[in-house]
Chains A and B, each alone.
Chain A
Amino acid sequence: MTILRTEVLPSSRPDVDQRPRKISRKPSGVDAVFAHSSRAVGATVLVITGGVGLFLALQAIPTLRDYGTSFFTEEQWSPDTNQIGIAGVLVGTVSVALVAMFFAFPLALASALYISEYAPAKLKPTLVSMIDLMAAVPSIVYGLWGFFLVMPHAGQVAVGIQKLLGWIPIFRVTTIDASGAVVTADPHAAVVDATRYVSSAFCAGIAVSMMVMPMACAVMRQVFSQTPPGEKEAALALGSTHWGMIRAVVLPFGRGGIIGGTMLGLGRALGETIAVVLIVSPAFDIKPRILEIGTATVSSLIAARFGEATAAQLSALLAAGLVLFLLTFVVNTLAALIVARSRSGAGADA
């Protein structure tokens, strides 16, 4: 057995310092200026995000101290009677976001696939800019679109859904009869009680879905376009059809992007404000019935009540904002983790 050994031979020139040269990784001159300034700019992002969280937390302290856990369980928002709670609002936020994702996810996935895999080269840039344009349309425009164009039809669809699937609790719609009791609305009535089927989480979710779709679509499209061409060609060379190639190569490669894009969209859907304010009729009870009139989301609550709030009410609104902030933070962090861990996202650092 021979042992390999590295020996530093003594230099033939004793006048030269024989210690290894010290390599400094410290940038100097212009490099240093650039490195420090970009670090400072990068740090501001953390400072701003942290500052928002800290501000919300500080403002929320009085509310959380006054109301304690009842802030999370109370189903009313009536500062007059000192009963404030976001139980129903949180349920509303989540249900609007889920309805939005129900519509946005298939649309985003299908359009991303079409643009990256099927669309003719001539059409591709047009489609991409159309999707980007959708993302640039102001939220209030989607709100008006949702209110005037979509809501009347969505109300009729809601009646139909209740007829067929009303036995599922989330598709139940209740109404209040002459004696004041809460009863299930009759979708088979000759004159359907149409006002019970509008201004609901379902209607708001449709408008919100149009706002989150472009965002989710952009992420998915970018990930799909990064699929290694070698693997795609290999699949085709092995006799796969176009769809077979997409199933075997593009979709598995882009799984991280699909999940990440969806979660980013969900994060935005949770916080969408003005379209929801326009469409919903505010209600603060826990209402898992998405087709029924009346709901509220945290951001729509803040937008609607912020202007006329007193100091105590403002603190309560900001406490609700803190909860939303944490919720979105968790969703977005999960999205980032999933994207980063996937193959497609490894190089992308989403």
Chain B
Amino acid sequence: MTRRTPLLAAVLAILTVFSLNSSAQAVTYSAIAGTGSSWSYNIVRQWMSDVNSNGITVDYTPNGSTQGRKDFANYTNDFAISEIPYQGVDESGQVDKSDRPYAYLPIVAGGTAFTYQLKIGNTMVRNLRLSGETLTKIFTNQITNWNDPQIKKENGGRTFPDLAITPVVRADGSGTTAQFTAWMADQYQSLWKSYSGRTGLTSFYPKKGRMLGAAGSDQVMNQIAASTGNGTIGYIEYSYPLNKTAADGKPFPVVKVLNKGGYYVEPTEYNVAVALTKARIRTDLPQNDPLYLTQDLRGVYTFNDPRAYPISSYSYMIIPISGTDRTMTTAKRQALSDFLFYGLCSGQSKAGPYGYSPLPLNLVQAGFDQVKRLGKADPKVDLTNKDVKSCGNPTFDGKNPNKNVLAEKAPMPAACDKASAAPCGTDTGTNTPSTDDKNAPTTPGTTTAPGAGPAPVAGAVDPETGAVIAASTATAGQPVSAVATPLSSDRPGQLLPFAVVDAGLLVALVTAPGMYAAFLRRRKGVL
């Protein structure tokens, strides 16, 4: 009996500690799983790792918006993320709806960017700029070569190499495709219609000609970044090229797209925030309407602010709001609501650096109200101490909820981004506003490509030699156009001998160790 007493005491002590612990924590979480958009995956992944330290485990599979909506309707996930709402009957007449009660809430904003790999010699082009029409023609197989006169015209007369354009499109059902095709269908209807035979958006890109299909945003980025990717261009959320390192150690470039204000702009957090001030969010509907908070982006496409990035949009989370939802429990609702409070609140401050744009105050407030419906579904969910005002969101004014501070302080584009001006020499894909000022604090060690960079300003000093550059070498701000003349590296008749030598070397590589071993053994035998 006495021997058992210490053991008993230890068990009791452990139990006490546990019970104290749980009472201190007050709420219990259980792991939640989501599927859907790969467009917003990069920021959601960051939020997931942030809340993990608070004991909230979130699992998310970026398998495409279409799949996410379908999973949600089939009760196989706890939440879905999608760029577009349920379509009812989708573009091909298939059912796309959910009988599982749901609510939409915007989680983050961002721009659908066009990233590309185009090399002149061995140097990547990093300051390509294109109009919406040219982009549409590229993705409808009307412009098929990088030396096309229309591309040349939009890049200040700079000729790109004679290289076929390979558009990389999504092979799976994707919200990125939906956002891109919605923009094309609205802005360049005849081009889009004659190519696809549709008038509206589609989640499945109709792949034709030289196009290359890839499953998921990651694979699109990988295909473009691959060493064989020279000449490819694809549509993808801005954060993917931003976080992908090219062979020269810099992030992948994105196309500067011409907006209605007459400037070529990159989808930085500022430009997206400015553009989305024209997004019409359906706040006019009652909160229980399924389309409450969904977006109408037609105003964004045509916004004439010189800073606006035309293909900007919000990404939405779909949450289950029914009190009788068969996969949800109190612990899951608690985890989901706390995850969302974090994402909508402090999580927004991370949006910019990751290549997204934070939500404005009114949408965060509306999102908070949607999350509170989880509490309505299950009164045991603890939703206290959640205040929008305490969020460290860079768009907040504090006084005026409809004001977007970020959009107001967004810098105007550089003069060289104007449609009529010669292109800026600064790199894209750096998440910093472009500038034609050489002393601007861009990424340190930025070396501009020969022929791609801005010509040295008169009186400037060469950063490597220190020599003063004569003013007569170029006019300020005018990039030197390099006309690429491709030369074959082969000489005729050279191929066969090399092939024979290669084959011989391969055989030698396999047999040489064996022959050496046999030689050693024989010598040993003789001695």
Residue of B nearest to A198 (CB): B228
Q: When the two chains form their complex, are residues A152 and B227 in contact, meaning their CB atoms are under 8 A apart?
A: yes
Question: Which chain A residues lie closer than 8 Å to B496 at the CB level?
Answer: 164
Question: Which chain A residues lie closer than 8 Å to B488 at the CB level?
Answer: 188-190
Question: Which chain B residues lie closer than 8 Å to A176 at the CB level?
Answer: 144, 164, 209-210
**CB of B212 closer than 8 Å to a CB of A:** yes
**CB of A180 closer than 8 Å to a CB of B:** yes
Label chain B's interface by main secondary structure: loop
**CB of B446 closer than 8 Å to a CB of A:** no
Question: Which chain B residues lie closer than 8 Å to A199 at the CB level?
Answer: 212, 223
Residue of A nearest to B499 (CB): A164
| With known contacts A180-B141, A278-B219, A307–B489 Cβ distance under 8 A | no
Minimum CB–CB distance from A238 to chain B (whole Å) comes to 22
Chain B residues 109 to 168 lying within 8 A of chain A, measured CB to CB, are 141, 144-145, 161-164, 166
Question: Which chain B residues lie closer than 8 Å to A147 at the CB level?
Answer: 222
Minimum CB–CB distance from B495 to chain A (whole Å) comes to 6
Q: When the two chains form their complex, are residues A308 and B66 in contact, meaning their CB atoms are under 8 A apart?
A: yes
Interface mask (B467-507 → A, CB under 8 Å = 1, otherwise 0)? 00000000000000000001111100001100100000000
Question: Which chain A residues lie closer than 8 Å to B487 at the CB level?
Answer: 190
Q: When the two chains form their complex, are residues B63 and A307 in contact, meaning their CB atoms are under 8 A apart?
A: yes
Query: In whole angstroms, how far apart are the Cα atoms of A164 and B214 in the complex?
Result: 30
Question: Which chain A residues lie closer than 8 Å to B223 at the CB level?
Answer: 199, 281
Query: In whole angstroms, how far apart are the Cα atoms of A281 and B213 in the complex?
Result: 5
**Residue among A152, A180, A188, A190 facing the most chain B CB atoms (10 A cut-off):** A190
Q: When the two chains form their complex, are residues B228 and A197 in contact, meaning their CB atoms are under 8 A apart?
A: yes
Query: In whole angstroms, how far apart are the Cα atoms of A277 and B63 in the complex?
Result: 13
Question: Which chain A residues lie closer than 8 Å to B91 at the CB level?
Answer: 80
Minimum CB–CB distance from A299 to chain B (whole Å) comes to 14
Minimum CB–CB distance from B148 to chain A (whole Å) comes to 9
Which of B229-237, B412-420, B456-464 sits within the interface? B229-237
Chain A residues 149 to 179 lying within 8 A of chain B, measured CB to CB, are 151-152, 155, 160, 163-164, 175-178
| With known contacts A151-B228, A155-B228, A281-B171, A190–B486 Cβ distance under 8 A | yes
Q: When the two chains form their complex, are residues A190 and B204 in contact, meaning their CB atoms are under 8 A apart?
A: no
**CB of B172 closer than 8 Å to a CB of A:** yes
Q: Which residue of B173, B228, B489 is within 8 Å of A152 (Cβ)?
A: B228
**CB of A193 closer than 8 Å to a CB of B:** yes
Q: When the two chains form their complex, are residues A191 and B64 in contact, meaning their CB atoms are under 8 A apart?
A: no
Question: Which chain A residues lie closer than 8 Å to B71 at the CB level?
Answer: 307
Q: When the two chains form their complex, are residues A307 and B164 in contact, meaning their CB atoms are under 8 A apart?
A: no
Question: Which chain B residues lie closer than 8 Å to A313 at the CB level?
Answer: 94
Query: In whole angstroms, how far apart are the Cα atoms of A29 and B213 in the complex?
Result: 64
Q: When the two chains form their complex, are residues B70 and A307 in contact, meaning their CB atoms are under 8 A apart?
A: yes
| With known contacts A152-B226, A164-B495, A188-B490, A195–B173 Cβ distance under 8 A | no
Query: In whole angstroms, how far apart are the Cα atoms of A195 and B116 in the complex?
Result: 13
Minimum CB–CB distance from A280 to chain B (whole Å) comes to 9
Minimum CB–CB distance from A270 to chain B (whole Å) comes to 21
Question: Which chain B residues lie closer than 8 Å to A155 at the CB level?
Answer: 228
**CB of B215 closer than 8 Å to a CB of A:** yes
**CB of A252 closer than 8 Å to a CB of B:** no
Interface mask (A182-206 → B, CB under 8 Å = 1, otherwise 0)? 0000001111011101110000000
Q: Which residue of B204, B214, B227 is within 8 Å of A281 (Cβ)?
A: B214
**CB of A350 closer than 8 Å to a CB of B:** no
Chain B residues 386 to 404 lying within 8 A of chain A, measured CB to CB, are none
Question: Which chain A residues lie closer than 8 Å to B172 at the CB level?
Answer: 304, 307-308
Q: Which residue of A152, A164, A195, A277 is within 8 Å of B232 (Cβ)?
A: A195
Question: Which chain B residues lie closer than 8 Å to A152 at the CB level?
Answer: 226-228
Question: Which chain A residues lie closer than 8 Å to B164 at the CB level?
Answer: 175-176, 178, 193
Q: When the two chains form their complex, are residues B161 and A282 in contact, meaning their CB atoms are under 8 A apart?
A: no
Question: Which chain B residues lie closer than 8 Å to A282 at the CB level?
Answer: 171, 207, 213
Query: In whole angstroms, how far apart are the Cα atoms of A177 and B164 in the complex?
Result: 8
**Residue among A189, A294, A308 facing the most chain B CB atoms (10 A cut-off):** A308
Chain A residues 279 to 314 lying within 8 A of chain B, measured CB to CB, are 281-283, 293-294, 304, 307-308, 310, 313
**CB of B37 closer than 8 Å to a CB of A:** no
Question: Which chain A residues lie closer than 8 Å to B215 at the CB level?
Answer: 277-278, 304
Q: When the two chains form their complex, are residues A160 and B219 in contact, meaning their CB atoms are under 8 A apart?
A: no
| With known contacts A80-B92, A175-B210, A293-B212, A190–B489 Cβ distance under 8 A | yes
Query: In whole angstroms, how far apart are the Cα atoms of A177 and B163 in the complex?
Result: 11
**Interface bracket on B:** 35 or more
**CB of B508 closer than 8 Å to a CB of A:** no
Q: When the two chains form their complex, are residues A195 and B229 in contact, meaning their CB atoms are under 8 A apart?
A: yes
Question: Which chain A residues lie closer than 8 Å to B213 at the CB level?
Answer: 281-283, 294
Chain B residues 80 to 119 lying within 8 A of chain A, measured CB to CB, are 91-95
Query: In whole angstroms, how far apart are the Cα atoms of A17 and B215 in the complex?
Result: 82
Residue of A nearest to B203 (CB): A308
**CB of B312 closer than 8 Å to a CB of A:** no
Query: In whole angstroms, how far apart are the Cα atoms of A193 and B162 in the complex?
Result: 11
Q: When the two chains form their complex, are residues A308 and B229 in contact, meaning their CB atoms are under 8 A apart?
A: no
Q: When the two chains form their complex, are residues B212 and A195 in contact, meaning their CB atoms are under 8 A apart?
A: yes
Question: Which chain A residues lie closer than 8 Å to B66 at the CB level?
Answer: 308
| With known contacts A194-B230, A304-B171, A304-B172, A310–B95 Cβ distance under 8 A | yes
Query: In whole angstroms, how far apart are the Cα atoms of A276 and B486 in the complex?
Result: 34
Minimum CB–CB distance from A202 to chain B (whole Å) comes to 13
Query: In whole angstroms, how far apart are the Cα atoms of A181 and B141 in the complex?
Result: 12
Chain B residues 197 to 250 lying within 8 A of chain A, measured CB to CB, are 204, 207, 209-210, 212-215, 219, 222-223, 226-232
Question: Which chain B residues lie closer than 8 Å to A163 at the CB level?
Answer: 495
Residue of A nearest to B69 (CB): A308
Residue of B nearest to A199 (CB): B212
Residue of A nearest to B228 (CB): A194
| With known contacts A147-B222, A152-B226, A155-B228, A308–B64 Cβ distance under 8 A | yes
Question: Which chain A residues lie closer than 8 Å to B177 at the CB level?
Answer: none
**CB of B67 closer than 8 Å to a CB of A:** yes
Minimum CB–CB distance from B119 to chain A (whole Å) comes to 9
Query: In whole angstroms, how far apart are the Cα atoms of A294 and B223 in the complex?
Result: 13
Query: In whole angstroms, how far apart are the Cα atoms of A194 and B231 in the complex?
Result: 9
The 4 A-B residue pairs whose C-beta atoms are closest, nearest first, are: A190-B486, A80-B92, A194-B228, A152-B227
Q: Show the binding face of B for A, using Cβ within 8 Å.
A: 63-64, 66-67, 70-71, 91-95, 141, 144-145, 161-164, 166, 171-173, 204, 207, 209-210, 212-215, 219, 222-223, 226-232, 486-490, 495-496, 499
Q: Show the binding face of A for B, using Cβ within 8 Å.
A: 79-80, 147-148, 151-152, 155, 160, 163-164, 175-178, 180, 188-191, 193-195, 197-199, 277-278, 281-283, 293-294, 304, 307-308, 310, 313
What are 20 pairs between A and B in contact, CB < 8 Å? Answer: A152-B227, A175-B164, A175-B210, A178-B144, A178-B145, A178-B164, A180-B144, A190-B486, A190-B487, A191-B161, A191-B486, A194-B228, A194-B231, A278-B215, A281-B214, A294-B212, A308-B64, A308-B172, A308-B173, A313-B94
A178-B145, A190-B488, A195-B232 given; 14 more Cβ-contact pairs under 8 Å: A151-B228, A152-B228, A155-B228, A164-B499, A190-B486, A190-B489, A193-B163, A194-B230, A195-B230, A199-B223, A282-B207, A307-B63, A308-B64, A308-B67
